[in-house]
Every structure is written in structure tokens, then in C-alpha cells.
Structure 1
Amino acid sequence: MGYKIKKAGLEDLDTAAALFNDYRVFYRQADDYEKCKKFIQERLDNEQSNIFLVYLEGNAVGFVQLYKLYHYIKLQKQWLLSDLFVHPDYRGKGLSIALIDYSKQWCIETGACGLMLETEKTNDIGNKLYPRCGFEYDGNHNYYYWWK
């Protein structure tokens, strides 16, 4: 397949923001391109995340966003695979797997101990995809949130 993966920079802001907006809409959030653009720009300006875009036939059709964390047991850097999205018109072509594999390579290149992620229990696609890509389900932990 003729896909290409590229690390996003500010020159890719509009493209990354449009895909991020589509991703949020997929997760039942309001369509708000401008707010997404500002959010992505802040992440890129402050080097708070790494975004990788996947291109097929010259069009950006998906992305993965990684945030740096630190693992308390391994005492090493790790990456949070926070966001993974492939436009519905391009699913079933192995692009999500390609983005995950690229993220694993990024771990190796940056000296990180691995990737972690969470997804909704109702995300049937993701809950089948991640184990196929070598992720192990951690049933020992509960995730809690506090929102102000």
C-alpha cells in the first residue's frame, strides 16, 4: 500500500486540526474546528505532543498523537497514545496498524520503555485492534478522573 507517515509540524496545523476535529466528532463531541486548531497549535508550539499524520494518495487520512509520560515502575519515559484516528472512508486498509507500528518505532528512537493507552469500553474497533497489535489489557487498574 502506498501510504506515508509524517511527523506534523506547524506547517501541517490545518490538516492536523481538521483530522482532530473529525476524531472528536467521532467521540460525540461538538464540531469545533477553530477550538481544535488552537488546541493542536498549543501542543505543537509548546512541544507537548508528537503528532504523526498518515497520507494515502496524497491526502492526510489519519493521525496518532503521543504525549510524554514517565513510568513509576520502570523509571523511564513512556508515551501515552492519546489519540488514534483514521477517517472512516479509509478504514480497513491497515493504516491504524501502520500508525501504531510507527508509534512503537518512535518509542525505540526516543528511548522510551513503551506505549500506554486507554479507550472506551464501547470502542469495539479499538478493543479488537490493540490486542492484535501486541497491547496487553490491564484489568488490574481502575482509571478515575477528576474534572474541575
Structure 2
Amino acid sequence: MNDLIVRIADDHDIDNIAGLFDLYRQFYGQESDCVLAYEFIKNRIEREEFVVFLAMEKGVSIGFCQLYPSFCSVDAMPIYILYDLYVKPEYRKHGVARKLMLAAEEHAIKSGKKRLELSTAKNNHSAQKLYESLGWVKDEVFLCYSRDVKG
């Protein structure tokens, strides 16, 4: 992938990111909803609620990575949560996800964040292999819980 470009997306990229975001949601078992995907991405970008990296190959959008700002109370430091990482299936195993992850890490360092955090599906072994190859460490101390509070 000699023509691979990874950059921070802006409001001109909403359509491209939204299309990828819809595919990402389908990967996790959601029905396609292009309007929902577009509105979600548009609102996040307009409100500057996240940082999203876009991977492009020869002008085609092929992947993205989203960082949400948060804080670690114990360290009293800002962090990023790497919540979404997606590469179109036909572009996987070519270093795209790796390049997105490295761009996210570089941005976190430049932004003065203490660390990056992420969670992944227990059966997403290819992603786990990538994360560990980049120095990410599996949390063996804490369990994660969630509770839906709206509809």
C-alpha cells in the first residue's frame, strides 16, 4: 500500500467516514442505517467531541480510527479512548490498521494524553494480535461492566 494516507478527518470527510462507520456497525451486527451513521459522525465532528483518523488509498476511504477524550481520575490526567477501529475487509492484512493505530498514538503523545485505552471483542483475535504487537497490554486487573440506561 504505497499510496496509503492516514490523516485527521475534518468536516469535508463526513460522507466518507459515515459510510465506513455504517460498515463498522454492520460488522458488529447492527442493521445498515446510513442516516444514523451520517448524523452521528456529523454531530461528533461539528461539536469537536472526538478525533477521527481517515485512511485513504488512491482517493478511496478504506478505514478509520476514532479517539474520544476522557480522564483518568487516579492519575489526574487526560486520556483518549480508542473506541472504534475499522478497515474494509478487502484492505485488511496490509498494514492499514497498524498505521491508523500509530497515528492515534502519535496524536495522543502530541496532545499530552497519559495513555490510550481500548476494549475489543473477546473473539477478535486478529485485532488483539495487532494491539499486542504494538505494545498494548491486556488488562488482567479490571473487569468491564456496562448498563443500558436509555431504550
Relative to the length of structure 1, the TM-score reads 0.97
Structure 1 residue 3 displacement after superposition: 0.9
Structure 2: which 5+ residue stretches go unaligned? none
Identity of aligned residues (%): 31
Matches of 2:97 and 2:144, distance apart in 1: 24
- The number of residue pairs the alignment matches comes to 148
Match of 2:77 in 1: 76
Structure 1 residue 108 displacement after superposition: 1.2
Are 1:91 and 2:68 an aligned pair? no
Match of 2:118 in 1: 117
Match of 1:131 in 2: 132
* Deviation per residue, 1:20-60 (Å, 9 max, x gap): 00111111111111101001111111111111101112211
Match of 1:13 in 2: 14
CA RMSD of aligned residues (A): 0.9
Relative to the length of structure 2, the TM-score reads 0.95
Matches of 1:20 and 1:76, distance apart in 2: 29
The residue matched to 2:144 in structure 1 has which SS? coil
Structure 1 residue 73 displacement after superposition: 2.4
Structure 1 residue 126 displacement after superposition: 1.1
Structure 1 residue 143 displacement after superposition: 0.6
Question: Aligned ranges for residues 48-87 of structure 1 at < 5 Å?
Answer: 48-87=49-88
4+ residue runs of structure 1 moved beyond 3 angstroms?
A: none
Matches of 1:125 and 1:34, distance apart in 2: 30
Matches of 1:72 and 1:124, distance apart in 2: 30
Matches of 1:2 and 1:72, distance apart in 2: 41
Match of 1:146 in 2: 147
Structure 1 residue 74 displacement after superposition: 2.0
